[in-house]
């Protein structure tokens, strides 16, 4: 039976990428092995220590080092000591440098920063779904942005658009017959944005919505008197909160979202 091999994994970040690649290769062999990960390599002494251990234990080395000086040092020393060293990142960076005709950034750990950014986006999207249309007022305190407005003022699409910017958004419908949740009046008002719309524009939108649902456009939902009543109540709530307002009339979701971002960041 083959003796157990020790695989030393060196990385200028956490070493996760190198370990995944090494394990993928090892899976092709009936070989007992042990992995020892050496993360955050920043100097030649750490490399020397790993090489000496590998020499003593008849091990091999797999590494991801973006710094060309450290990478070249490890390759040269490993060759001189007759140690098998697998440069996972080097050949790929060199090939990409030739193809893209530009220098790599040479910043360790960027893939994990990208992963973190991705998961923040997913978390924000899930948040927007969970706290859409006032489903759970507990989201108000946790939100980066709270959107309030009457029905058909693009609260949901705006929430999703802003979620893709990694912002947690809760939206609350404003209806005269329903008192808004208490949390809305306790939160930092700078996080709250009211969505205002012209009555005539809202009337047109609601009529089209009713038609799409196969309903007549004479329902109270699209009645101009009712719309004025809702918008008057919206204005009272906005004044009570003291929040800023964005007019969404005749604006695309992207345009409104960018205006909201400017207000929040300003």
Task: Please give the pLDDT value at position 119.
Answer: 82
Residue 257 pLDDT level (bands cut at 50, 70, 90): very high
Task: Please give the pLDDT value at position 217.
Answer: 67
Q: What are the start-end ranges of the H helices in 7-138?
A: 16-26, 44-56, 68-80, 90-100, 110-130
pLDDT mean across residues, the chain: 91
User: What is the set of domains in the chain, with CATH numbers?
Assistant: 5-108 (3.40.50), 112-265 (3.40.50)
Phi, psi values for residue 244, rounded to 5°: -80, 160
Phi, psi values for residue 12, rounded to 5°: -85, 0
Task: Please give the pLDDT value at position 1.
Answer: 45
**What is the residue-wise DSSP string for 161-202?**
HHHTTT--EEEEE-BTTBPPPGGGGTS-GGGEEEEE--HHHH
- What is the gyration radius of the CA atoms in the chain, in angstroms? 29
Q: Is the pLDDT of residue 103 over 60?
A: yes
pTM: 0.62
Residue 129 near residue 110, CB atoms below 8 Å: no
Task: Please give the pLDDT value at position 104.
Answer: 81
Residues 6+ apart with CB under 8 A from 162: 124, 128, 145, 169, 257, 260, 261
Task: Please give the pLDDT value at position 114.
Answer: 62
Task: Please give the pLDDT value at position 16.
Answer: 85
Site of tokens 């947690």? 168
Residue 160, CB half-sphere, CA atoms under 13 Å: how many? 6
Residue among 129, 92, 70, 96 nearest 17 (CA): 92
Angstrom distance (rounded) from CA 122 to CA 115: 11
Residue among 62, 256, 234, 232 nearest 154 (CA): 256
Residues 6+ apart with CB under 8 A from 64: 10, 11, 12, 13, 15, 17, 18, 88, 89
User: Residues comprising the binding site?
Assistant: 149-156
**Euclidean distance between the first and the last CA atom of the chain, given in angstroms as a whole number:** 68
Q: Looking at 118-122, 132-136, 154-158, 205-209, which range is the least confident one?
A: 118-122
Angstrom distance (rounded) from CA 78 to CA 50: 10
User: Residues comprising the binding site for ADP?
Assistant: 149-156
Angstrom distance (rounded) from CA 82 to CA 213: 75
Indicate the length of the chain as a whole number. Answer: 266
């Amino acid at each position: 039976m083959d003796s157990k091999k020790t695989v030393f994994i060196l990385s200028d970040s956490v070493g996760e990428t190198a370990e995944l690649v090494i394990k993928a290769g090892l899976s092709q062999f009936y070989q007992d092995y042990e992995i020892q990960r050496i993360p955050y390599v920043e100097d030649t002494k750490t490399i020397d220590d790993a090489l000496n251990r590998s020499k003593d234990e008849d091990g091999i080395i797999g590494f991801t080092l973006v710094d060309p000086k450290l990478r070249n040092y490890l390759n040269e020393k490993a060759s001189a000591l007759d140690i098998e060293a697998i440069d996972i990142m080097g050949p790929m960076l060199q090939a990409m440098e030739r193809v893209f005709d530009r220098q790599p950034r040479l910043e360790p750990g960027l893939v994990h920063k990208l992963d973190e950014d991705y998961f923040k986006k997913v978390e924000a999207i899930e948040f927007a779904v969970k706290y859409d249309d006032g489903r759970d007022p507990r989201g108000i305190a946790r939100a980066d942005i709270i959107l309030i407005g009457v029905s058909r003022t693009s609260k949901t699409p705006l929430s999703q658009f802003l979620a893709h910017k990694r912002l947690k958004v809760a939206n609350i419908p404003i209806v005269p017959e329903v008192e808004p949740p208490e949390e809305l009046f306790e939160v930092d008002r700078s996080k709250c944005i009211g969505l205002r719309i012209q009555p005539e524009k809202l009337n047109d939108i609601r009529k089209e919505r009713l038609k799409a649902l196969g309903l007549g456009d004479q329902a109270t939902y699209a009645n101009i008197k009712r719309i004025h009543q809702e918008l008057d109540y919206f204005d009272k709530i906005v004044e009570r909160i003291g929040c800023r307002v964005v007019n969404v009339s005749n604006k695309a979701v992207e345009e409104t979202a960018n205006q909201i971002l400017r207000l929040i960041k300003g």
